[in-house]
Homo-oligomer: A and B are copies of this chain.
Amino acid sequence: MPDRSHQRRRVSPVDFHTRLDEASAASGSGLCIGLDPDPARFPPTIGQRREAIATFCRAIVEATADLACAFKPQIAHFAAQRAEDQLEEVCAAIRDLAPHAVLILDAKRGDIGSTAEHYATEAFERYGAHAVTVNPYLGTDAALPLLERGGVIALCRTSNPGAGELQDRDLEGRPLYVAVAEMVAEQWSQHGQCALVVGATVPDQLSRVRSSAPALPVLIPGVGAQGGDLNASVLAGRSETAPGAAGVIVSSSRQVLYASDGPDFATAARAEAERMHRELTAALAS
């Protein structure tokens, strides 16, 4: 196996919020493009093979670089295809083709401290991410090794249909997801730079998170394929005191990646990203 240690980068943990501010200004909005590569959906011109993952993702990044505030590769899609080497390539391509953008590794990691150290190495050194998504269930001490080495985006209220089964239940006077928002705002933020994940499918919960954690940026997945409403999400999630474009990072994956299944997939992805960028800019200006 070749040594690619030269590709590894250590990212300063103080970079995340500043970088988000600069990326929002440079791109003109808080649009995040999620990279969930699925070879079965690649156009025949690229080839529906695992070997084409990096080529496909690179074409998407190239076509949308100026419009994107952030790129968010989803690691499971690479791991299922034995394509960690291609994920390294894609991360390098994001840093190269969109040097203004925030690189978010969507990994939803969470483990005890000694193991979290290794997840921090994976996210911030191996893949050179600026921020990583993290599961809050283990509490503050388990998040510390990640907080000390890069941006941490904690799952708060997720976008899946059954998310409320635990997250919406009452924990000592507030829903569990609000307790998580408070823990991240009050505890985690003392040790590093954070954000929260709240799905676009639940604007009411997003408003509630906004009241509990006004200074934290919110990453909002679930627009598009999952049915979330972009305008309602921006109205519920905006905060003038949070970093970035009014504190909202709105993420779309499948709707951009698979806008066309033909040879024009990159052009179609750009058109879809442009449409979302306009919609997002209008919502932010309203």
A residues with a Cβ closer than 8 A to B are: 1, 4, 36, 51, 74, 76-77, 79-80, 82, 84-85, 108-113, 115-119, 121-122, 125-126, 135-142, 155, 158-167, 169-172, 176, 179-180, 183, 187, 226
Residues of B within 8 A of A176 (CB): 166, 171, 176
Given A113-B160, A141-B161, the answer on whether A122 and B79 have CB atoms closer than 8 Å is yes
Query: Contact at B76–A118, with CB atoms within 8 Å?
Result: yes
Given A79-B118, A111-B108, the answer on whether A160 and B135 have CB atoms closer than 8 Å is no
Query: Contact at A139–B118, with CB atoms within 8 Å?
Result: no
Task: State A84–B84 Cα separation when bound (angstroms).
Answer: 8
Task: State A1–B1 Cα separation when bound (angstroms).
Answer: 10
Q: A175's closest neighbor in chain B, by CB?
A: B171
Task: State A123–B139 Cα separation when bound (angstroms).
Answer: 25
Query: Contact at B135–A163, with CB atoms within 8 Å?
Result: no
Query: Contact at B85–A126, with CB atoms within 8 Å?
Result: no
Query: Contact at A170–B167, with CB atoms within 8 Å?
Result: no
Query: Contact at B162–A140, with CB atoms within 8 Å?
Result: yes
Q: How far is the CB of A166 from chain B (nearest CB, A)?
A: 6
Residues of B within 8 A of A138 (CB): 155, 158, 160, 162-163
Q: How far is the CB of A159 from chain B (nearest CB, A)?
A: 6
Task: State A84–B162 Cα separation when bound (angstroms).
Answer: 32
Task: State A112–B228 Cα separation when bound (angstroms).
Answer: 14
One of B125, B140, B164, B226 near A165 (C-beta < 8 A): B140
Q: Which 3 A-B pairs have the closest CB atoms?
A: A141-B162, A139-B165, A76-B118
Task: State A269–B190 Cα separation when bound (angstroms).
Answer: 41
Task: State A169–B183 Cα separation when bound (angstroms).
Answer: 13
One of B109, B155, B160, B171 near A169 (C-beta < 8 A): B171
